[in-house]
Amino acid sequence: MVGVLGKTGLLGLLLLLSLSGCDFRRVVVNDPLVADSLEGLVPGESTIQDLATALGAPDEIEEGAGGMVFRYRYGDNKTMRVNFGWILRVFFPVAPSMNLGRGEGVTYILHVALRPDLTFDHSVIQPPPDTPHFWFWPF
Amino acid sequence: MLRDSQAGFSHHWRNPRGLLLLASLLVLMSMVNGCAFVRGEVGEPFPEDRIQTIEKGITNRQEVAQQFGAPDDIVQANGHEIFHYRRFDSKLGWLLFFSRLNIGSDHLWVFFNPQGIVDDVVFGNRTKNVEFQIWPFGE
């Protein structure tokens, strides 16, 4: 076998086979929110159109204290799963699934408050939470 | 000619290196997953030329509804009635044990004054940035 595939090929094959029991999935919703894009906005002067040019259309609009609140969202979710029953496929035609998996997700939210005359007032961006990690241990 | 191909086949069949390589590939193929590219869309795209037909101070509620249909949401905020139209686009790339699903959303917000005439329009096109990606690590 080593002669046919070579040592590197054999190691690559073993790595590929060992990873076959694993599953890495990621779901990303919208583009990351960049606080720098708010720098050009001036309270009391910048209009809704300036805001739309800087950040795009909001995901939500709500009534705020005397004005409106625009809300922008960005989501990032990572899931990893390991099927420990997979190794039995080497020996048996039918192998039971024995999965351990874990998912982590974060949502970044940016609030932009507008005055009653629909000019920019202030913004609040939540401190970036820990980025999600790939890990399979659920306990 | 038939005899030549039969001779070639039996030559390969007798070659243990080739047979081992073929068997290894078959085992590998039976153990690893394949690949997939899947796209999902919810809602109709918002063509720029149709958005430009909405004129501030002229277009009324009925005309907006004729162009874009009934809104997905109607929001009341700061004395404005706001029509909200949404569209989602998602692209999934999956290869072996890695997958990534990117989701983007477009939002069209049409602000009306108390007389039912358009006061402002906010549109953001984020679905144009949605790409097929497989690698779940990094950005």
Q: A61 in a domain, yes or no?
A: yes
Q: Which two tokens stand for residue B73?
A: 């949401």
Q: Which two tokens stand for residue A91?
A: 């020996």
Q: A38 in a domain, yes or no?
A: yes
From the list A4, A49, A63, which residue is nearest B78 (CB)? A63
Quick one: which of A51, A102, A97 has its CA closest to B124? A51
- Which pLDDT belongs to residue B2? 47
Q: Which residue of B has its CA nearest to A6?
A: B21
Asked whether the beta carbons of B48 and B125 are under 8 A apart, the reply is no
Range of the domain at A70: 23-125
Contacting residues of A for B32, CB less than 8 Å apart:
16-17, 20
Checking if the pLDDT of A120 tops 80, the result is yes
- Which pLDDT belongs to residue A104? 93
Report DSSP letters for A7-55, one per residue.
HHHHHHHHHHHHHTTEEEEEEEESPPP-GGGGTT--TTT-BHHHHHHHH
- Which pLDDT belongs to residue B1? 46
How many structural domains are present in chain A? 1
- Which pLDDT belongs to residue A65? 80
Amino acid at B2: L
Phi, psi for A9 (deg, rounded to 5): -65, -40
Rounded to a whole number, what is the distance in Å from the CA of A39 to chain B's nearest CA? 19
Contacting residues of A for B98, CB less than 8 Å apart:
24
Residues of chain B with CATH 3.30.1450: 34-129
Report DSSP letters for B66-103, one per residue.
HHH-S-SEEEEETTEEEEEEEEEEEEEEEETTEEEEEE
Q: Which two tokens stand for residue B139?
A: 């950005």
Asked whether the beta carbons of A52 and B123 are under 8 A apart, the reply is yes
State mean pLDDT over B49-70.
Answer: 94
Residues A13-61 have pLDDT tens digits of 777 666 678 889 999 999 888 777 888 899 999 999 999 988 899 999 9
Residues B1-15 have pLDDT tens digits of 445 555 555 555 567
Q: A68-83 and A60-63 as β-strands: parallel, antiparallel, unpaired? A: antiparallel
- Which pLDDT belongs to residue B82? 96
- Which pLDDT belongs to residue A97? 84
Checking if the pLDDT of B28 tops 90, the result is no
CATH for the B34-129 domain, from 3.40.1710, 3.30.1450, 3.40.50, 2.40.50? 3.30.1450
Give the number of other CB atoms < 10 A from CB of residue A77: 16
Q: Does B76 touch chain A (CB under 8 A)?
A: yes
Residues A74-99 have pLDDT tens digits of 999 999 999 888 778 777 877 788 89
Contacting residues of A for B24, CB less than 8 Å apart:
1, 4-5, 13
- Tell me which of A3-12, B43-52, B59-68, B120-129 is least confident: A3-12
Burial class (CB in 10 A: 0-12, 13-18, 19+), B129: exposed
CA B98 to centroid of chain Cα atoms = 18
From the list A22, A27, A67, which residue is nearest B103 (CB)? A27
Amino acid at A101: G
